[in-house]
């Protein structure tokens, strides 16, 4: 952004001086942003305003109901205004500015009115009017020259984004919900687009970009700017969707400021109200909210998931308290087919999607589907404390369905956790930032890692590892050990029998207990032998008979192995264990090597084996730090003791 336009943004923000006292600092944007939009639209519409008014009068006299297409054509824009007022004339009557402003806003075409409605600006008009500030504030905006020949669409986009940044930073308690730090976006866009740099300079290319949780539109703008900086003749179409009304209005306004098509920014929940249902995109990127539950759209999502891969969520459903992986599946569903050029996408996650969920769970099944279909290109670990509303560690996931043959079935992991500088002033939870050198170095390391995937002879960057997709898979096996029992009738086992539910409901309870008590002291190591000893109890109902055996059976490592009718050993549920075996390893080889040396009679219950996938990124980059030598610790303790003694000596003098 140029110095002149930085000054213009600062001048616009100086309106906040008028609001101080009546508005909290975090509320300034609710007035400044929509008024900036109105002032720009007023300037943009000025050249065709008279023509639009004349055409509107003609159509009205002719009784035409659907004037919208004609008036758009007359205005030569996607929006127009049919009010006879403009920004200068609506302040002509100091005492009726509220009435005039509402009349002026009501003259806009439906799309523009929708933006202002989502800002909730009508409430601000009332508030400013009641505070005696409306005339002063609007008059201040009349002074601002935002004519297109003075401030181009591109420059206006930068100016508006600067205002949004100011608004977001002073509202940093919630900024992370809709505003991703600019340097994080820049790195994300670099990683998404850098592998395609040669292709992006092709004259006349058309590229479509999508963000399903677009917030104020920062990611879309950065991606558009990146492509246009490499190719001034490229056509970049940006699409987005946003659930929050205010941030939707900001994003849509930004598109209008740049002369783009604001109708490509949809309002609503991307899961239940997909605003771009039939679209496919070249590039996608998103920073969806972390750990936000999807209970409000649970029925809709589950109904679609029941359709399998005919819907968006066929791979699986994550737990209800985190919809991050739903966003990823939603984005994957909008990839172009490889034969149509394919797609690339990048998404910001916290650590949960990497490993949450055991084998067979929704999260594991989603990871499995992504990796088995070879969609994951790489994951980049970022420093913690990068975002405004959370200090947790975050990760970029980068996916594509158009890997070149040499990169297939390979995944790049890049550890960028040490690439940061401390901020001079914290903004909420944001205490660290990436500088330009960090962004350049990380982008270079990632692109080189893709080259390494092409050519194994290249040396690896110290922060990069390349894996096979199967390296993240594992087999969750159930290891059983035989049930070994001895049998005993004692006071303790009789008490267990007396308290069992089948006995409490058994009509012959007391005679049975009396007979069993007469056998007190009976023991056996063989089931057959003990069955003979229980003969005085007679034939019992199945539930009662089971209760008798359960009470008198005692687990014993040296006891008799219990078997089923076919002679197969029964498993001891108390000794059951689970092991994770690498996906490509034979589970029986694992059992012989790792288990049988310690438990020779163990076996695998194969029908219970499940396939799972997890990506333990931090484990792969863990570097063992040996403990400090004891002599060094002792020396330090002695030095501290001497220091304490010296201080105490001074106190007691």
- pLDDT for 175: 43
- pLDDT for 172: 55
Residue 441: name the closest of 463, 408, 458, 470 by CA: 463
Mean pLDDT of 127-148: 92
The 3 state secondary structure assigned to 317-340 is CCCCCCCHHHHHHHHHCCECCHHH
- pLDDT for 429: 81
DSSP assigned state of 606: G
**645 vs 397, more confident:** 397
Bridge partners of 399, per DSSP, are: 345, 376
- pLDDT for 253: 85
The 10s digit of each residue's pLDDT in 251-294 is 888 888 777 788 899 999 999 999 999 999 999 999 998 888 99
- pLDDT for 157: 76
Mean pLDDT of 162-179: 64
**466 vs 78, more confident:** 466
Secondary structure class of 51 (helix, strand, coil): helix
Secondary structure class of 652 (helix, strand, coil): helix
The 10s digit of each residue's pLDDT in 208-243 is 999 999 988 889 989 999 999 989 899 999 999 999
Residue 9 has pLDDT above 80, yes or no: no
Dist CA 634 CA 418 (whole Å) = 31
- pLDDT for 1: 45
Residue 356 has pLDDT above 90, yes or no: yes
Mean pLDDT of 176-198: 86
- pLDDT for 162: 78
Query: Is 478 in contact with 609 (CB distance < 8 Å)?
Result: yes
Mean pLDDT of 68-92: 91
Helix extents (H) in 121-210: 121-130, 134-142, 153-170, 182-193, 197-200
The proportion of the chain whose per-residue pLDDT surpasses 70, expressed as a percent, equals 96
Dist CA 645 CA 648 (whole Å) = 5
Q: What residues have CB less than 8 Å from 579, skipping those under 6 apart?
A: 476, 477, 479, 590, 594, 595
Mean pLDDT of 162-175: 67
- Which range is most confident: 61-75, 102-116, 261-275, 601-615? 601-615
Query: pLDDT band for position 174 (50/70/90)?
Result: very low
């Amino acid at each position: 952004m140029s110095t002149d336009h930085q000054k213009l943004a600062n001048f616009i923000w100086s309106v906040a001086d008028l609001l101080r006292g009546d508005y909290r600092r975090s509320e300034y944007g609710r007035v400044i942003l929509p008024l900036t939009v109105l002032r720009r639209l007023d300037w943009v519409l000025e050249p065709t305003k008279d023509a639009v008014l004349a055409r509107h009068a003609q159509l009205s006299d002719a009784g035409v109901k659907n004037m919208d297409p004609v008036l758009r054509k007359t205005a030569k824009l996607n929006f127009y205004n049919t009010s006879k007022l403009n920004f200068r004339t609506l302040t002509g009557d100091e005492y009726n500015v509220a009435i005039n402003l509402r009349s002026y806003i009501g003259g806009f075409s439906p799309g523009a009115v929708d933006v202002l409605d989502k800002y909730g600006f009508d409430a601000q008009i009332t508030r400013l009017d009641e505070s005696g500030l409306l005339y002063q504030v609007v008059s201040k905006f009349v002074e601002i020259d935002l004519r297109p020949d003075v401030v181009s669409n591109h420059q206006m986009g930068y100016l508006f984004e600067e205002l949004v940044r100011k608004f977001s930073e002073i509202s940093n308690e919630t900024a992370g919900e809709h505003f991703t730090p600019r340097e994080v976006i820049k790195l994300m866009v670099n990683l998404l687009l850098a592998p395609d740099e040669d292709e992006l300079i092709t004259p006349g290319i058309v590229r479509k970009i999508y963000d399903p949780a677009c917030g104020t539109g920062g990611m879309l703008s950065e991606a558009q700017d990146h492509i246009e900086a490499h190719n001034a003749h490229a056509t970049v179409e940006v699409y987005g969707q946003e659930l929050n009304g205010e941030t939707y209005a900001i994003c849509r306004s930004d598109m209008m400021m740049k002369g783009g098509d604001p109708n490509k920014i949809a309002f609503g929940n991307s899961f239940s109200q997909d605003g771009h249902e039939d679209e496919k995109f070249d590039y996608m990127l998103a920073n969806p909210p972390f750990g936000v539950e999807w209970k409000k759209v649970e029925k809709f999502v589950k109904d679609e998931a029941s359709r399998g891969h005919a819907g968006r969520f066929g791979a699986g459903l994550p737990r209800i308290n985190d919809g991050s992986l739903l966003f990823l599946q939603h984005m994957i569903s909008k990839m172009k087919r490889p034969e149509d050029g394919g797609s690339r996408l990048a998404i910001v996650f916290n650590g949960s999607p990497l490993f949450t969920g055991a084998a067979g769970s929704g999260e594991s099944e989603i990871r499995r589907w992504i990796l088995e279909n070879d969609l994951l290109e790489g994951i980049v670990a970022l420093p913690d404390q990068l975002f405004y509303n959370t200090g947790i560690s975050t990760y970029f996931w980068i996916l594509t369905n158009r890997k070149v043959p040499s990169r297939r079935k390979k995944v790049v992991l890049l550890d960028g956790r040490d690439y940061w500088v401390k901020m001079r002033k914290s903004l909420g939870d944001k205490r660290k930032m990436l500088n330009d050198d960090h962004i350049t170095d990380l982008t270079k390391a990632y692109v080189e890692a893709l080259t390494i995937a092409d050519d194994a002879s290249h040396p690896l960057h110290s922060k990069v590892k390349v894996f096979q997709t199967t390296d993240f898979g594992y087999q969750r096996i159930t290891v059983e050990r035989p049930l070994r029992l001895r049998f005993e009738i004692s006071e303790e086992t009789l008490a267990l029998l007396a308290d069992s539910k089948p006995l409490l409901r058994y009509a012959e309870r007391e005679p049975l207990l009396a007979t069993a008590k007469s056998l007190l002291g009976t023991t056996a190591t063989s089931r057959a032998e003990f069955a003979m000893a229980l003969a005085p109890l007679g034939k019992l109902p199945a539930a009662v008979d089971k209760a008798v055996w359960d009470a008198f059976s005692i687990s014993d490592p040296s006891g008799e192995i219990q078997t089923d009718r076919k002679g197969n050993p029964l498993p001891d549920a108390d000794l059951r264990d689970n092991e994770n075996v690498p996906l490509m390893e034979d589970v029986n080889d694992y059992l012989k090597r790792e288990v049988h040396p310690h438990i020779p009679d163990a076996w695998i219950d194969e029908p219970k084996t499940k396939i799972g996938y997890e990506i333990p990124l931090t484990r792969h980059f863990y570097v063992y730090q040996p403990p400090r030598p004891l002599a060094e610790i002792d020396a330090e303790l002695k030095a501290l003791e001497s220091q304490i003694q010296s201080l105490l000596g001074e106190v007691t003098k």
